[in-house]
């Protein structure tokens, strides 16, 4: 006895369709049932209203734009620096000997631990936020590029040498494309890292931003907006990750 | 009687890759008393190649065979410039080899194509690196793809091709660079038997058209005799030359030559030599801790 394969497949499909509605529904019921304090744990309908008000009467667009700009500036600068330095240390033993010990020392320091120092150095300026995101991204991309260059198929390098590829053309012709699949793995990890770091950066003190707004709303006991902010952060971060995944599939399609 | 290279450089000839019988006389490989020692992990020194001397003349097709570990690939990699000689010298057209270069094309056991480049882009790589214009490089590449019968796959990417087709692209890529010598390291070892025979016939046809000097490493005796002008048999531990056998089977050869009486006799000679060596190596391995 049991259910047929077809029935099983139909059940599986319904599980997927109902996943999010069930989650929101249970949340709504629990919040409103009185088991928990609905001020501290508002139901999704109230979160939606808070989000709507934030968007229409508040500064949602500005907050999202500010947060995105911090992530973008930190991510892009960290990624470029990480790739360049990683290729140098991966390719030249001298550069590796010079820089790797320092980087290995600094790399494990969580960016969040830098917040007090960053406030001292940069005040509440944007530079401090960029620096923190940069810090989070740089080391991840650096190590990916460093290892990527070293893991380029040795036979490919030999094949290129036998085809008369001069040393200065080796980088653009073989080493960079050969290490791109590794670099993109590092870059994709860094997309998530840059959002983690963004939160630390905005909690450190600023005047706008999604994580900043979450903090402020909490202080005003507007928990609906706080939770809405979390949803927004999750949504943006997940979208960025998906977009980057599609982008990297397009760029390093052969891996 | 060493042939002297012609005074003019080979690069100036129009359609040099279409010339026959290498009238330029390029592609003379001289290996003199080559010894190669590897430092292994346990500070032990391994004598991989011991006092090997071979002269390979322009346009000649020479196969190196021997049991595994006889240093045949090491010799080839040394000609390519990847492994420096511990003693002795290697010259190609009287220039001492001390690094890899475009004058020695190489085909590896794995096709080793650039996966991010199209088939045409792979074959055009050498001419482009040699400073040819894009238009000329791509025309040369198209010519060579035609010669290996893959012209209609020019726009595809290597991973869409079968292993045998990829290896044909690798051969076209090495030849498109007009190398003085073509080095081949068990290039058909990873292919199935049917494809291998097809590849061998295709390679012979190419070689008869281009007359590039070829040094071909294999452990397949049939393959060596079928392809080569000379079969150089090497011994294991340390790698030495056991015999240098001239193969005077008539050309052009087709695969039916494998059924020839003379072929069988040559094969038996090589087989006996290698078998004795393999047994010896096997015994040595038992004695050594």
What's the rounded Cα separation, in Å, for the pair B266 and A49?
Answer: 90
Q: What share of chain A in percent tops pLDDT 70? A: 100
What's the mean pLDDT in A178-206?
93
B23-34 pLDDT tens trace:
567 899 999 999
- What pLDDT is attached to residue B24? 67
Q: Do B112 and A177 touch (CB under 8 A)?
A: no
Q: What is the pLDDT of residue B160?
A: 94
B285 vs B28, residue with greater confidence? B28
Closest CA to A86 of A183, A230, A190, A168: A183
Tell me the per-residue pLDDT of B47-61, one tens digit each, with 9 for 90 and over.
899 999 999 999 999
Closest alpha carbon within chain A to B172: A163
pLDDT tens digit string along A217-230? 999 989 999 999 99
Interface check B101 vs A, CB under 8 A:
yes
Closest CA to B239 of B106, B46, B79: B46
A92-101, B180-189, B256-265: the lowest-pLDDT one = B256-265
Which residue carries 């570990």 as its tokens?
B69
Mutation target vs A (from B82, B116, B127, B185; most A CBs, 10 A cutoff): B116
Tokens of residue A178, six digits: 């050969």
Name the pLDDT band for B16 (thresholds 50, 70, 90). Answer: very low
Continuous H helices in A152-222 = 154-162, 167-170, 176-203, 210-219
Which positions ≥6 away from A94 have C-beta within 8 Å?
A: none
Taking an 8 Å cut-off on Cβ atoms, the answer to whether B129 and A165 are in contact is yes
Q: Is B103 touching A (CB cutoff 8 A)?
A: yes
d(CA B235, CA B21): 32
Please give the pLDDT value at position B13: 37
pLDDT band at B70 (very low <50, low <70, confident <90, very high): confident
Looking at residue B10, its pLDDT comes to 42
* pLDDT-based confidence at residue B6 (cuts at 50, 70, 90): very low
Summarised one tens digit per residue, pLDDT across range A26-36 is 999 999 998 88
Question: Is-contact A190 A75, C-beta < 8 A?
Answer: yes
Residues B214/B259, Cβ–Cβ less than 8 Å = no
Phi, psi of B7 (to 5 degrees): -70, -35
DSSP B12: G
Q: Do A158 and B129 touch (CB under 8 A)?
A: no
Contact B230, B62 (CB under 8 A): yes
Say whether B89 sits in a helix, a strand or coil: strand
**Cα angle for residues A163, B166, B182 (degrees, 5° grid):** 40
Q: Mean pLDDT across chain B, nearest whole number?
A: 88
Which residue from A148, A135, A169, A165 is spatially nearest to A87, judged by alpha carbons? A148
Determine contact: A163 vs chain B, CB below 8 A.
yes
pLDDT (tens digit, 9 = 90+) per residue, A73-83?
Answer: 999 999 999 99
Contact B81 A161 (CB under 8 A): yes
Instruction: Assess whether pLDDT exceeds 90 at residue A207.
Output: no
Angle subtended by helix axes A176-203 and A115-122, to nearest 10: 80
Residue B39: strand pairing partners? B45
- How far the first Cα of chain A sits from its last, in Å, is 46
Measured between alpha carbons, how far is A183 from A87 in angstroms, rounded to an integer? Answer: 10
CB A136, CB A172: distance < 8 Å:
no
Query: CB of A162 within 8 Å of any CB in chain B?
Result: yes
Please check the confidence at residue A161 and state whether its pLDDT lies above 50. yes
Of B100, B114, B159, the CB nearest to A158: B100
The total number of residues shown for chain A amounts to: 255
CB B72 within 8 A of CB B64: yes
**Residue of chain B nearest A175, judged by CA positions:** B114
The reply to whether the predicted model has a pTM over 0.80 is yes
Residue A251 in contact with partner chain B when CB distance is under 8 A: no
| Six token digits for residue A175 | 């080493």
- Counting one residue from chain A and one from chain B, the pairs whose CB atoms sit within 8 A come to 66
Cα–Cα distance between B271 and B221 in angstroms, integer? 7
Q: Which residue has the tokens 């090495």?
A: B174
Q: Which of B110, B115, B179 sits opposite A155 (nearest CB)?
A: B110
Beta-carbon contacts of B265 under 8 Å, excluding residues fewer than 6 positions away, are none
What mean pLDDT do residues B158-175 have? 95
Going by their DSSP bridges, the two strands B213-217 and B230-235 should be labelled as: unpaired
Confidence (pLDDT) at A203: 86
Average pLDDT of chain A, as a whole number: 93
B187 C-beta neighbours (distance < 10 Å), count: 28
Instruction: Show residues of chain B in contact with A163, CB under 8 Å.
Output: 102, 105, 125-126, 129, 173-174, 177
Q: Do B10 and B76 form a contact (C-beta atoms < 8 A)? A: no
- Residue A126's SS3 state is helix
Total length of chain B: 289
Contact present, A38 and A21 (Cβ < 8 Å): no
Give the model's pLDDT for residue A39.
Answer: 87
Whether the predicted pLDDT of B131 surpasses 70: yes
pLDDT confidence of residue B93: 94
Q: Is B45 exposed, middle or buried (0-12, 13-18, 19+ CB in 10 A)?
A: exposed
Cis upstream peptide for B252 (omega within 30°): yes
Task: Check whether B41 has a pLDDT greater than 90.
Answer: no
- Distance between first and last Cα of chain B: 47
For A244, which DSSP code? H
- Which residues 6+ apart lie within 8 Å of B151 measured at CB? B142, B145
Helix (H, G, I), strand (E, B) or coil at B118: coil
Tokens of B60: 């000649």
């Amino acid at each position: 006895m049991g259910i047929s394969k077809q029935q099983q497949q139909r059940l599986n499909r319904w599980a997927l369709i109902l996943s999010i509605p069930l989650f929101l529904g249970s949340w709504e019921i629990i919040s409103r049932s009185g088991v928990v304090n609905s001020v501290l744990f508002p139901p999704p309908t109230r979160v939606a209203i808070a989000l709507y008000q934030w968007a229409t009467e508040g500064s949602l667009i500005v907050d999202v734009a500010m947060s995105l700009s911090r992530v973008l500036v930190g991510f892009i600068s960290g990624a470029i620096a990480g790739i360049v330095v990683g290729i140098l240390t991966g390719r030249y033993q001298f550069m590796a000997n010079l820089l790797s010990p320092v980087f290995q020392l600094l790399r494990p320091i969580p960016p969040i631990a830098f917040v007090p120092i960053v406030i001292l150095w940069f005040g509440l300026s944007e530079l401090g936020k960029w620096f923190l995101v940069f810090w989070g991204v740089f080391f991840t991309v650096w190590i990916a590029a460093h290892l990527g260059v070293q893991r380029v198929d040795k036979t490919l390098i030999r094949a290129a040498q036998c085809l008369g590829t001069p040393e200065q053309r080796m980088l653009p012709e073989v080493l960079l494309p050969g290490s791109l699949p590794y670099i993109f793995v590092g870059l994709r990890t860094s997309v998530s890292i840059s959002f983690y770091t963004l939160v630390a950066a905005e909690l450190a003190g600023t005047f706008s931003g999604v994580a900043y707004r979450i903090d402020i709303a909490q202080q005003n006991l507007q928990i609906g907006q706080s939770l809405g902010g979390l949803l927004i952060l999750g949504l943006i971060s997940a979208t960025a990750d998906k977009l980057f995944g599609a982008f990297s599939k397009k760029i390093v399609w052969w891996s | 009687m060493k042939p002297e290279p012609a005074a003019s450089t080979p690069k100036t000839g129009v359609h040099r890759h279409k010339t026959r019988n290498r009238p330029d006389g390029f592609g003379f490989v001289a290996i003199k008393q080559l010894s190669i020692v590897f430092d292994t992990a346990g500070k032990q020194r391994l004598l991989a190649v011991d006092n090997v001397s071979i002269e390979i003349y322009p346009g000649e097709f020479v196969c190196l065979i021997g049991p595994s570990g006889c240093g045949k690939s090491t010799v080839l990699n040394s000609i390519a410039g990847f492994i420096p000689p511990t003693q002795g010298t290697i010259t190609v057209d009287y220039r001492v080899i001390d690094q890899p270069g475009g004058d020695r094309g190489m085909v590896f056991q794995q096709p080793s194509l650039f996966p991010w480049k199209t088939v045409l882009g792979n074959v055009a790589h050498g001419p482009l690196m040699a400073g040819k214009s894009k238009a000329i490089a791509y025309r040369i590449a198209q010519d060579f793809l035609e010669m290996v019968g893959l012209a209609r796959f020019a726009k595809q990417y290597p991973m869409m091709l079968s292993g045998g087709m990829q290896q044909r692209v690798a051969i076209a890529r090495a030849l498109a660079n007009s190398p003085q010598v073509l080095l081949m390291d068990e290039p058909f070892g990873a292919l199935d038997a049917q494809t291998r025979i097809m590849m061998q016939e295709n390679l012979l046809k190419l070689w008869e058209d281009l007359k590039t000097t070829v040094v071909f490493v294999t452990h397949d005796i049939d393959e060596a005799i079928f392809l080569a002008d000379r079969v150089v048999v090497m011994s294991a531990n340390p790698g030495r030359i056991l015999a240098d056998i001239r193969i005077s089977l008539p050309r052009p050869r087709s695969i039916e030559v494998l059924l020839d009486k003379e072929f069988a006799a040559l094969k038996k000679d090589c087989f006996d030599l290698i078998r004795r060596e393999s047994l010896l190596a096997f015994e040595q391995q038992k004695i050594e801790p």
